Amino acid sequence: MARTILVVEDEPTLRETLAEALVTDGFRAVVAADGRMALEQFRAEQPDLVLLDLMLPELSGIEVCRIIRAESGVPIIMLTARGSEVDRVVGLELGADDYITKPFSLRELSARIRALFRRTEQAVIAATPSVIDLGGAQVDLAGHRLLRDGREVPLKPKVFELLAVLARHPGQVMTRDQLLEQVWGYDYGGETRTVDVHVHWLRAALEADPANPAIVQTIRGVGYVLRRPA
């Protein structure tokens, strides 16, 4: 369940280059060659981020940005022509989150995308209550503590961070790669097996019956999901 990025660009070579680079970076890429197709793809695919060229046939990038923003808070990065200051200002006024001027390096684009996803993630963190109730256990995000029956359960720091990431996204399946990225960071060259080991430790601390986990559940072939008891 990689994050999906919609690439809206009428220039075929650039469009394909961007799509390939995104796939190499571990994203799922969907493409659109004009403004109308962009809106269709946006509504059909519900991407996690939109790369939006400004100069497009059918509907301009400005129009597309305005319409998408009216429907969704999805992060939008505008691709603008060199030196077009006006476009940049208009793009940001329309609610684009960032812009990048052509020609740009794929490395720079990749950095911008990651920065934007980090900001989005921080907004999720800011909107999460500081204590999450899991029935018999409470995750105290501000205090970095897990409580069971009112007592603190000692956890290794990474095990707590893993719990915190899962608890901020209840009901949402997180892949091992997403967990590695969010708990250990992009530059950690670790293996997904690390995640499984930490999940094992987390269940031992959290679950009433760690062999039959009710809270941190395995989604076979995908990753893990935290279920809050009803």
Residue numbers of the site for Ca ion (CB under 5 A)?
A: 10, 53, 55
Write phi, then psi, for 80 (nearest 5 degrees): -115, 160
Q: Which is nearer to Ca ion, 9 or 48 (CB)?
A: 9
Q: Which is nearer to Ca ion, 12 or 190 (CB)?
A: 12
Is there a contact between 76 and 95 (Cβ–Cβ < 8 Å)? yes
Q: Which is nearer to Ca ion, 50 or 165 (CB)?
A: 50
Residue nearest to Ca ion (CB): 55
To Ca ion, the closest distance from the beta carbon of 153 in angstroms equals: 55
Q: Which H or E element spans position 202?
A: helix 192-206
Q: Using N-to-C axis directions, what is the helix angle for 12-24 and 106-127, rounded to 10°?
A: 60
To Ca ion, the closest distance from the beta carbon of 82 in angstroms equals: 13
To Ca ion, the closest distance from the beta carbon of 61 in angstroms equals: 8
To Ca ion, the closest distance from the beta carbon of 11 in angstroms equals: 6
Q: Which is nearer to Ca ion, 19 or 137 (CB)?
A: 19
Is there a contact between 52 and 26 (Cβ–Cβ < 8 Å)? no
Q: Which is nearer to Ca ion, 10 or 87 (CB)?
A: 10
To Ca ion, the closest distance from the beta carbon of 108 in angstroms equals: 19
Q: Which is nearer to Ca ion, 10 or 97 (CB)?
A: 10
Is there a contact between 144 and 127 (Cβ–Cβ < 8 Å)? no
Q: Which is nearer to Ca ion, 55 or 106 (CB)?
A: 55
Residues 6+ apart with CB under 8 A from 37: 8, 58
- Cα–Cα distance list, 83 to 17, 69, 88, 89 (Å): 23, 25, 9, 12
Structure tokens at 139: 């995750």
To Ca ion, the closest distance from the beta carbon of 89 in angstroms equals: 19
Residue 33: CB atoms within 10 A of its CB come to: 19
d(CA 179, CA 165): 8
Amino acid occupying residue 181: E
Looking at residue 83, the DSSP 8-state letter turns out to be T
To Ca ion, the closest distance from the beta carbon of 115 in angstroms equals: 24
